Structure 1
Amino acid sequence: MAAPVNTPQALIVFNPTITAPTKHMSWPKGSTQEIKWDTENIPAERTATTGVILLGYMENDSENLDIDHPLATGFPLNDGKVTVKMPTDIDSTKDYFVVLFGDSGNKSPVFRIA
């Protein structure tokens, strides 16, 4: 059985704004692209945190994330960007988004992969 915590613990959450891709942007299938996010407010305790980028799309009012095929992993969040290759075997009719995971998760605006 776990012992209770006697003092409250502060959670350190960094939820950066994704600045690229932007809304209505279109990236070609198989292209190399740069995903960017704001690093201005990274807490000092999170400067060594690494991240994961997942591709997702909305369907039936549900977010669908491709957790089996991350676009990028293990990059430093304080870099503010990571270069990824867009998949080639996806449906061009969907609106996609990327999600940045590290200390917290943040979702981009929707964009196209055509």
Structure 2
Amino acid sequence: MKFTSLLLAVVSFFTVALAIPVNLDKRDVFVPPILYPHSGTVWTINERHNVTWDTSNAPVNITNSKGLIMLRKDNMATPLILAEGFNILLGRFEITVPWVVEGDDYSLVLFGDSGNWSENFTITGSDISF
């Protein structure tokens, strides 16, 4: 009796599971290459810059179209989020260069569907004196 009840429960579960409509639209991962900043770029703390990326090969259906830009240093992500929640298909987004230690080993990570990072560039101090 227990076996029959268990078998009936399993069959019922699979019958219901198979009856649920599933959206099978094909979705593609979009990894747009970052165009700016690039190697040789020098940013100064507190300046505003447009981070730009190539959207010319964007697929029709993108898995995640909400973008996020983070700063990397020494090829490691930092907790600094420079922008978030923008449409990845914009191809650019303006950010303010954060107060960080000067160096030439910075890069940006552009998240949407996938993470893509820029070439290394330099961040220098500002002209503000105290």
* TM-score interval, normalised by the smaller of the two chains: 0.7 to 0.9
Q: How many residues align?
A: 101
Compare relative contact order (CA 8 Å, sep 6+) and give the higher one, 1 or 2.
1
Distance 2:26 2:90 in 1: 25
Distance 2:70 2:119 in 1: 13
Q: Shift of the alpha carbon at 1:23?
A: 0.5
Structure with max Cα Rg = 2
Q: Which amino acid aligns with 1:84?
A: I
* TM-score w.r.t. length of structure 2: 0.71
Q: Which residue of 2 aligns with 1:77?
A: 88
Structure 1 stretches of 4+ with a deviation exceeding 3 A read: none
**As a proportion of its length, which structure holds more helix?**
2
Matched residues, percent identical?
Answer: 34
Cα RMSD after superposing both structures: 2.1
| Structure 2 unaligned spans of 5+ | 1-13, 15-24, 125-130
Partner of 1:64: 76
Mapping of residues 1-114 of structure 1, within 5 Å: 12-46=28-62, 49-58=65-74, 63-67=75-79, 69-88=80-99, 90-114=100-124
Q: Partner of 1:78: helix, strand, or coil?
A: helix
TM-score (norm 1): 0.80
Which residue identity does 2:97 align to in structure 1? Answer: M
